[in-house]
Amino acid sequence: MIGQGQVVKVGIADMNTVKAPDTIRTSGLGSCVGVVLYDERSQIAGLVHVMLPDSSLGRTETINIAKFADTGIPAMIEQLKLEGVQPFRLRAKIAGGAQMFQFTSGKDTMRIGPRNVEAVKEYLKKFSIPIVAEDTGGSSGRTIEFNPMTKLLNIRTVNQGVKDI
């Protein structure tokens, strides 16, 4: 790896930013979606670990903004703006959104992984952020690590090995 940076870890339903040579990682991406927003020029990136598609699904009065696609993505854009990133330069890479359990009922509420992916794509489109690469769906969990210097998203998928997108 180029440079000897630190690995910034992002927990479930959390978010953080990083500047090269540091990298940013999250694990536990089952039906959750890891959304990496990055600016190639400044080598700054942010990662949101989205757990649910919509904050209206929250069951508490105070919401964790990083937990939901509709609140986490705008919050990450604002955080990156504070770091000096121009929003029009942002690009996205996404991973996760697996269907971890097979249900016999066709209920939409049980399709959390696919619904998370749809919501993430909807909000990225709303903010005119192009998705450069994605590794979504399937039925296996993932750990992802993004390097803002190389712009590569390293994905380790359970029982399927490692790849860079």
Query: In the prediction, which pLDDT does 11 show?
Result: 96
Query: In the prediction, which pLDDT does 46 show?
Result: 98
pTM, rounded to two decimals? 0.92
Catalytic residue among 32, 119, 153, 155: 32
Query: In the prediction, which pLDDT does 104 show?
Result: 57
122 belongs to the catalytic site: no
Instruction: Spell out the per-residue pLDDT of the chain, length 165, in tens.
Output: 445 789 999 999 999 999 999 999 999 999 999 999 999 999 999 999 999 999 987 677 778 999 999 999 999 999 999 999 999 999 999 999 998 776 655 565 568 899 999 999 999 999 999 999 999 999 999 999 999 999 999 999 988 899 999
Beta bridge partners of 47: 16, 36
Domains and CATH numbers, the chain: 7-164 (3.30.1330.200)
Query: In the prediction, which pLDDT does 129 show?
Result: 98
- Measure the CA angle with vertex 160, ends 156 and 161; round to 5°: 45
Q: Residues 6 or more apart from 33 whose CB is under 8 A from it? A: 50, 69, 94, 95, 96, 97, 113, 116, 117, 120, 136
